[in-house]
Amino acid sequence: MNLPPPRSSRYGELIARLDAFESRVQAAQGSFLRCAAGCDACCRLRRSAFPVEVAAIRAHLSTLAPATLETLRARQGDPEVVAGRRCAFLAPDGHCAVYQARPIVCRTHGPAIRTSDGLSYCRLNFEGLSAASVEERLPPDAVMNLELVNRMLVLIDTAYRAEVALSDAVPVRLDLAEALSP
Ligand code: SF4
Ligand code: SF4
């Protein structure tokens, strides 16, 4: 599938804002988080993302050494990946092979996020704390408003589809492994 790199800087700007947000999260929540390379329960599934995100991952992959890319492609035959029980980019040692370019959904796992249903977070984090206690400890600017982020992402992806004249036949979300296709 032809997925040119995004020409507009909007997706990169959203990622930069989320990176800045992550610094605030680390400052406010870091001591309660177990998220780290090797803790990969949230990566043991088939992951999908919007075309603009898959295009950004593909652009990132194009900067890797050919041998690294070959290793990633070969890993797609892993029975766990084929069965959808492992993300296409989860390395054997539990780290993310595209960490810098990982999609938005991967940036929302772990720390506290807010939705219209309230606060939510990975249960491996904030061990021993009640939801009310987590709520009390977190400054508002260190909790992601997930619905707002998702709305921005949908707008950016819609603009990307128009910008690169993506066919209507291309699904709204793509398997992340599509980034590895030629
Ligand atoms: S892209 Fe990386 S962080 Fe996201 S699910 Fe895959 S391995 Fe995990
Ligand atoms: S979200 Fe949960 S499973 Fe994923 S890295 Fe963080 S603590 Fe581990």
SS3 content of the chain, % helix, strand, coil (to 5): 50, 10, 40
CA of 87 to the centre of ligand 2 (A): 14
- 43's CB contacts (< 8 A; 6+ apart) are 86, 87, 89, 90, 94, 96, 106
Q: Is 48 helix (H, G, I), strand (E, B) or coil?
A: strand
Any ligand 1 atom below 6 A from CB of 50: no
Structure tokens at 76: 């797609």
Distances (CA, A) of 49 to 4, 34, 57, 92, 107: 15, 24, 10, 22, 12
Residue minimizing CA distance to atom 4 of ligand 1: 106
Task: Tell me the residue type at 96.
Answer: C
* Amino acid, res. 119: L
Question: Residue 35's pLDDT is what?
Answer: 92
Strand 174-175, strand 118-120: pairing: unpaired
Query: What is the per-residue pLDDT across 137-170, written as a single tens digit (0 to 9) for each?
Result: 888 888 999 999 999 999 999 999 999 999 999 9
Task: Copy the structure tokens of residue 106.
Answer: 């991967």
Residue 131's pLDDT is 85
Question: What's the gap in Å between 90 CA and the centre of ligand 1?
Answer: 6
Residue 28: pLDDT band by 50, 70, 90 thresholds? confident
Full-model pTM: 0.93
User: What sign for the dihedral angle of Cα 109, 5, 163, 175?
Assistant: negative
Cα 165 to ligand 1 centre (Å): 28
Atom of ligand 2 nearest to the CA of 33: 7
Q: Who's near 28: CB < 8 A, 6+ residues apart?
A: 137, 138, 139, 142
Average pLDDT over all residues of the chain: 93
Summarised one tens digit per residue, pLDDT across range 52-91 is 999 999 999 999 999 999 999 999 999 999 999 999 999 9
